[in-house]
Structure 1
Amino acid sequence: MRWKGDRGPVLDAAVARFARDMRTLSGIDRWPDTGIPLAIDCCAPGMSTAALHAQDEGYTLTVAAGGIDVRARSELGVLRALATLRQMLQGHDGGWSLPAATIRDRPRFPWRGVMVDTARHFMTLETLKRQIDAMEQVKLNVLHLHLSDNEGFRVESLAFPKLTAGEHGQYYTQAQVRELVAYAAERGVRVVPEFDVPGHAGAIVRAYPQYGSADTPASRFGAVLDPSNPDTYAFLETLFGEMAALFPDPYFHAGGDEVGGEDWASNPRIQAYMAAHGLEDKEALQGHFMTRVHGIVDGLGKAMIGWEEIVHGDIPRSTYIQAWTSSNFVHTATQAGHPVVVSAGYYLDYLEPAEVYYLRDPTDAAAAGIEPAIHAKVKAIDRPALSAVFPESQVIQPGLALSDAQKALVRGAEAPLWSELVTDELLDSRLWPRLAALAERFWSPESVRDVDDMNRRLVLLDGQLDRLGLQARGNRRRMAERLAPGDAEVVAALADITAPVRNFAHMHSMHAYIRKQPIPVQQFTAPADIATPSNPVALAFNLEAARFAAGERGLGATLAARMQGWKANDARYRVVAAGRPALEAALPASAATARLADIGLAAIAHLGADTRPDAAWLADARAHIAELHAQAQASSSLFASIVSPQQPPADLIIAVVTGVERLLDAAEGQ
């Protein structure tokens, strides 16, 4: 190890983590101490993790026979170079190596984040630290924590102790917040807190009802603060001041989304306040409120960020806007001169596979929103409740584009994970490995778009993250063990080749609400909760099947073995599922994989014998695949999820259909 330039405890700790991780990844106890030398040339004087938002993350990395050379202007640049080195480690013939390369790299966007909702389901400190560790590996740099909502307020307040009095210990003490912030900073990750106002304020109003707009909130989005009450602003000034002192990041997220307005409309005092201040509608009142909140945040020495609804009123152009409903708003906000963080199209709780998110670029003004064809169907149905969910303002406008000046205002992107369907146990698998694909999208040029190559690398990276401490696989195994004690591998094997339904189709409360049925209490222990949207096992099969179909016939034995495994697992699953309702519900999914295995094995046999499948058999195989595609289509969009009469059995999509279809296409086309 050789150093040049400035160096401090942050870099010492980073290099120690790097050495430990390389030993963990390779299993070689003394690597890299006795391997090729590592030389680090850093940094610009005065740089430190106290100014994470301002540091240059670029670096130059050279790997050659004589050693590894890292050059960077900041500590962050060194951390990013070491993350790249971890990913470059290659295993072969029982050994490990780093390929020779020279890399000059820097991020495309300075804001590359993930939002974790800790309000609906509480996430422990240990769980959040695991995500920060993984974020360091893939060069994500912002952890946005949604810390208050209707369901809970998650940070200890000494000024207002009632906020956490009913949380049964499920909140972060101030000491824990400081610990988490310091832990993240050492790994090059900023922590941006969000305390959502004026809507989504149920937890605040339960604790301090005097600041609410109604005794019984009428909005489906929960309680709303009273903007006509001077004490509301005094409360927020004290609360935000206390919270801002815990989070040193220069940005403070004040929420501002989904204010229904019903409580304001039915409150005579608030209506009188609106008349006195010349506020004509709900949007004007919300703009007035958020302008005053901006003054509070600004007075604390923080820059405010909020969801796109905060643009109403006199919010300064310097205020960061988080665009979430569609890419249309990226265009609108940047046209108004606001810096924007893009979340539209990146909601991980939609449970889309990694490739869907990967192909959406933050600067593409037509990347995310309501498809015009879907909006046409909504208009044809002519149901007001449905139209409210699919407003015309969110319809994708083909051809809409950002100017160069607008693109310069796109500061980056952030992938939110709302936790209605995510528990502490599920967090790792609902974020990863898909978040790694988004980390690449947020770092790399728009031209990097090879989905197959991304999926190939995603399979490898998932294994690395598991070895380095993520609990996605371990937690899924424990969940499977609860469903089938002693036979967890049977449940896990089915989960590996299936995926949960998408676009909130697994949210049973939403469907009950739409159909005016009793709202069920949903437990998160079913096979659909164990399955993941981008499982490396299914990804690997689909990639190998595509390569085999393209002519790599040496993969035939591997593919056949995989599919024989599906058939054997189905036979075992039928035995294990007997008498267990949660597993019995997934019997059709297991049977479907066995039928797919028969189709794939027959296709490989035909290709090996250079024979074409029988027409009747081919038609039957195509019909089975079409049925599975139709099941996937039932949750292919939010519209489909809402209007589809039913979802596939046990809310499971078969994730290996495309691979088997490639084999069938090759057999038919020869």
Structure 2
Amino acid sequence: MSLSAVIPAVIPAPVSLASDASAPAFRLSASTVIAGDADAATALARILETRTGIAPAHADADVAGAIALRRAPGGPAESYRVTVEAASILLTAPDAAGLFYGAQTLGQLLQRDGTGWSIPAVSIEDAPRFAYRGVMLDVARHFFPVETVKAYIDRAAALKFNALHLHLADDQGWRVQLESRPRLTEVASGSSVGGDPGGFYTKADYGEIVAYAASQHMIVVPEIDVPGHTHAVGLAYPELVEAPVLSEHIREIVREYGGDLPTTGVPYEGMAVGFSSLRIHDEATYDFLADVFGELAGMTPGPYLHVGGDEALGTSAEDFAEFMGRVTSLVADLDKTPIAWHEAGSAEGLDEETIGQYWGFLTPTDGMDEKARTFARNGSQLILSPADAIYLDMKPSPSSALGLTWANGPTSLERAYTWDPVAIIDGIGERDILGVEAPMWTETLRTLADIDAMAFPRIAAAAEAAWSVPLGTAPMRTWPSFRERAGALAPVWRSMGVTLPASDDVSWSAG
């Protein structure tokens, strides 16, 4: 008997799930009513209609045979409880997010039942392991329109992610309109990797993304990566940047991936990193950053601003330390919590509230772990994004036409799943970890179909690392269980418009 015949297909794995195969299921029909919380009812109705074509009506009060959605005290933030019986379904949660996540679980439980649809008899208690559960989308290397970003939000929210990190600026282009610095989009937004068209989000576009994310219980974390990754800034404001530092490392990347060497004042369309830098000792640089982060803070209701700080190979160690101290303090003074990539941990004077984002390997190299430990020593926390596990742009197999392999790649689904956040960095325990984030860099990606091909099913593995109990501590939290549950969810993902890639690890259900 397969696992899927015993364990309903839910990802991420709940804290507890009891099912009774002998008990009758709840049958969905045109007369089904969703009662209770209006926002959660709207979310659940959308899920059910997308999956089945049935659009349940909403009632403010409970009615017989209804799917009841209720706020109930008790339990941690974002938690929920579900009881499914033949006659009714009861979903309770202490907050709106918990009801939303319970609705996502009900959508995953939905299955074909002859010519109709049903939800099996189950009892679920669930809560997230980590407070921060993110996905990152790089819109700088290739630009993606608002509708694509919203589609990615849908995919992530369905897996209980609650943060969208947008990488809004890099050497190849600047992607968000700012009234304080209009030349950034007038001059520096038109290019992408490989000579593809660029683009940018107007302030209205950005507001639409933020509002849509909020409707799916996700915050937006905007990133302006400094002091490196700033060649595009120099197109608009050349007085703020240094000349490109053309190391042998840069030349090797150009030889491997093609394109031209970066040239001052010329849009950069290649894939090299680490050659650019802002001018660290010029006060005009900090005036610029005050404008950029100040305006972005006003456009972003979430608590975080990401300042980058990675791969600043064109900046000396001393200058980097001075710069990161100033920029993280600047963001903190805006009443936002700064986030920086783990390299910033080498900088003395870093604002003590700064959250570190670790992009190093499952087995740290080159002092990555020591830099990451700085954030915990400062009394702050880490976001774990091990590149050789959950960088979703790494090739999933050697034959993949998309993706890169620099992070010990290709990265199989099994490797993406079989790691645990507390096992990466010595001395970093559960309390030191704010959460988990799965980045998607887009040097080789141009469309939503490309994004889906790289994200699925590894994004589901990242979701389980972020939400579920530690690996191996529950029957569902194992590799064999996960691969079967992932395969069984194929109909759910297809109903969302995802074209699932061929996989050596997963047999996709046709149901």
Q: TM-score, normalised by structure 2?
A: 0.75
CA distance in 1: counterparts of 2:424 and 2:484, whole angstroms: 28
| Aligned residue number for residue 324 of structure 2 | 290
1:349 and 2:393 matched: yes
- Cα gap change, 1:18/1:537 in structure 2, threshold over 3 Å: closer, same or farther? farther
CA distance in 2: counterparts of 1:453 and 1:32, whole angstroms: 35
Higher strand proportion, which one?
A: 2
Q: CA deviation at 1:3?
A: 5.7
| Aligned residue number for residue 302 of structure 1 | 336
| Aligned residue number for residue 233 of structure 1 | 286
Ranges in structure 1 where 5+ consecutive residues have no aligned partner: 5-10, 46-54, 265-281, 367-400, 474-531, 545-670
CA distance in 2: counterparts of 1:151 and 1:248, whole angstroms: 27
Ranges in structure 2 where 5+ consecutive residues have no aligned partner: 1-32, 191-197, 251-273, 396-410
Contact kept in structure 2, 1:21 and 1:468, CA below 8 Å: no
CA distance in 2: counterparts of 1:246 and 1:308, whole angstroms: 26
Residue of structure 1 aligned with 2:464, choices 404, 417, 440:
440
Q: C-alpha root-mean-square deviation of aligned residues, in Å?
A: 2.6
Answer 1 or 2: higher relative contact order, Cα 8 Å, separation at least 6: 2
- Cα gap change, 1:467/1:343 in structure 2, threshold over 3 Å: closer, same or farther? same
Residue of structure 1 aligned with 2:49, choices 1, 23, 48:
23
Q: CA deviation at 1:538?
A: 6.6
Q: CA deviation at 1:28?
A: 4.0
Q: CA deviation at 1:27?
A: 3.8
SS at match of 1:348: coil
Q: CA deviation at 1:230?
A: 0.8
CA distance in 1: counterparts of 2:65 and 2:107, whole angstroms: 15
Moved more, 307-316 or 115-124: 307-316
Q: Deviations over 1:529-582 (max 9, x none)?
A: xxx4xx3587218x99xxxxxxxxxxxxxxxxxxxxxxxxxxxxxxxxxxxxxx
| Aligned residue number for residue 165 of structure 1 | 186
Q: CA deviation at 1:356?
A: 1.3
SS at match of 1:65: coil
Greater Rg over alpha carbons, structure = 1
User: Where do 1:19-418 residues align within 5 Å?
Assistant: 19-28=45-54, 36-42=65-71, 56-166=77-187, 167-168=189-190, 170-214=199-243, 216-218=244-246, 220=250, 221-261=274-314, 264=315, 282-311=316-345, 312-327=347-362, 328=364, 329=368, 332-333=373-374, 336=377, 337-344=379-386, 345-351=389-395, 352-365=411-424, 401-402=426-427, 406-418=429-441
- Cα gap change, 1:131/1:122 in structure 2, threshold over 3 Å: closer, same or farther? same
- Cα gap change, 1:37/1:178 in structure 2, threshold over 3 Å: closer, same or farther? same
Q: CA deviation at 1:414?
A: 0.5
Q: Deviations over 1:517-536 (max 9, x none)?
A: xxxxxxxxxxxxxxx4xx35
| Aligned residue number for residue 259 of structure 2 | none
Contact kept in structure 2, 1:459 and 1:536, CA below 8 Å: no
Contact kept in structure 1, 2:45 and 2:55, CA below 8 Å: no
Q: CA deviation at 1:364?
A: 0.9
Contact kept in structure 2, 1:124 and 1:424, CA below 8 Å: no
CA distance in 1: counterparts of 2:327 and 2:67, whole angstroms: 49
CA distance in 2: counterparts of 1:162 and 1:340, whole angstroms: 34
Contact kept in structure 1, 2:356 and 2:383, CA below 8 Å: yes
CA distance in 2: counterparts of 1:224 and 1:444, whole angstroms: 40
Contact kept in structure 1, 2:34 and 2:57, CA below 8 Å: no
| Aligned residue number for residue 569 of structure 1 | none
1:14 and 2:37 matched: no
CA distance in 2: counterparts of 1:207 and 1:16, whole angstroms: 44
CA distance in 2: counterparts of 1:20 and 1:318, whole angstroms: 39
Higher helix proportion, which one?
A: 1
- Cα gap change, 1:35/1:457 in structure 2, threshold over 3 Å: closer, same or farther? farther
SS at match of 2:235: helix
Q: How many residues get paired?
A: 411
Q: CA deviation at 1:198?
A: 0.2
- Percent identical: 35
CA distance in 1: counterparts of 2:503 and 2:115, whole angstroms: 22
Q: Deviations over 1:621-665 (max 9, x none)?
A: xxxxxxxxxxxxxxxxxxxxxxxxxxxxxxxxxxxxxxxxxxxxx
- Cα gap change, 1:290/1:201 in structure 2, threshold over 3 Å: closer, same or farther? same
Contact kept in structure 2, 1:56 and 1:74, CA below 8 Å: yes
- Cα gap change, 1:411/1:244 in structure 2, threshold over 3 Å: closer, same or farther? same
- Cα gap change, 1:195/1:43 in structure 2, threshold over 3 Å: closer, same or farther? farther
Q: CA deviation at 1:412?
A: 1.0
1:468 and 2:496 matched: yes
